[in-house]
Amino acid sequence: LIGTVPGDTAELVIPADFAFAPHTHFLIYTASNFSEQSYPSALAIVDTSASASNLAFLDLDLDGGELGGLLQWTPAQAPAVQDYLVYLDTWASFGGRSQLGTATSGSSLLVPAETAQLSYDLLAVYTRSSLAEQTTPVAIAPVDSEALAENVSFVDLDLDEFDLGGLISWLPAGDTALVASYVVYFAESDCDLLHEDANGTYTSDAGTLLENATAPALCNLLRIATVTNSNATNTSDFSIFLEPETLQQNYTHLAIFAKSVLVEQTTPASLLIFDAAASVSDLAFDDLDLDEQQLGGSITFLPPASSANLVDSYAIYLAQGAETKC
């Protein structure tokens, strides 16, 4: 016996997760206040099994430990399915889960960029009817994509202090097929917190913690250039040229962010900037031409005390002042 209902009621609700094996039919007996009938009406049990299938997911968040991208599946062929619930889940229990969203129609759900994978090892899709959510989902183990530039290099060939110029280069690494472009920034390291506003500007913010940060944490980013696979001259060795007389300002690092078609990564490859300054000293000139308004003799000076290896030649000008050439 699974239940009784009054004579003026023609419905019995069977609760979800009701185990019916080994039975094959529902039998409904009418009963008077005297006895129950001997020959009931019968209904064969049709057990509806409705699960999504053919799950597919490509992680387009290029930071390790973070997921982002389109989770796709083939819908269940059952009209009883009302919607699909998507969770981060574990093989161990299908219990300690974290819901990512609900798809009321269609066959996909966008997993937001920068979704922390934590200890979860599955993306699970549960079907749900008007009565209940299924107990056992269909799941896929996501492959966490990571693409961090390597061997970032920059030699400052602008020999004025506080000015930069030269070639910034790096090597691609990780899941390079997923990288649509690399974005190059100036960055500051004198910060412990990071915030990105709607315009993509990064600033210090006492209310937003920087997660998964490299040491040091970088903030106050200024975009220099974007290099795509299509406009790169050599996709095995990327580079951009930083124009001479680029002011360093307060920036301490160069940062290279890989970017997929979904999102720019949050943890970049970085390089501490070395500002080369190479000025001569102890200048001297003795005029040995004894005519007025005419000069002749040797100009002498000491080579730069630092970055002398970057000096290719010395250019000597006449000028009307001590600061700039004519």
223-261: per-residue pLDDT in tens?
A: 999 998 766 666 667 999 999 999 999 999 999 999 999
Statement: residue 215 has pLDDT above 50: no
Q: What angle do CA 135, 122, 117 make, to 5 degrees?
A: 130
More confident residue, 20 or 187: 187
Please give the pLDDT value at position 39: 87
184 and 205 together in one domain? yes
Q: In terms of domains, do 129 and 166 share one?
A: no
Asked if 129 and 165 sit in the same domain, the reply is no
pLDDT for 93: 66
Q: What does the alpha-carbon distance between residue 241 and residue 4 come to, in Å, rounded to a whole number? A: 82
171 within 8 A of 179, measured Cβ to Cβ:
no
248, exposed or middle or buried, with CB in 10 Å at 0-12, 13-18, 19+? middle
Q: Are residues 268 and 286 in the same domain?
A: no
Q: What is the pLDDT at residue 166?
A: 97
| Rounded to 5°, angle at Cα 312 from 309 and 313 | 125
Same domain, 177 and 260: yes
Domain span holding position 77: 53-140
Whether 114 shows a pLDDT value over 80: the answer reads yes
CATH of the domain at 131: 2.60.40.10
149-172 in b/e form (b: 16+ CB < 10 A) is beebebebbbbeeebbbbebbbeb
pLDDT digits 0-9 by tens, 119-144:
999 999 999 999 888 988 999 999 99
Which of the 8 DSSP states describes residue 211? P
Query: Do 172 and 103 share a domain, yes or no?
Result: no
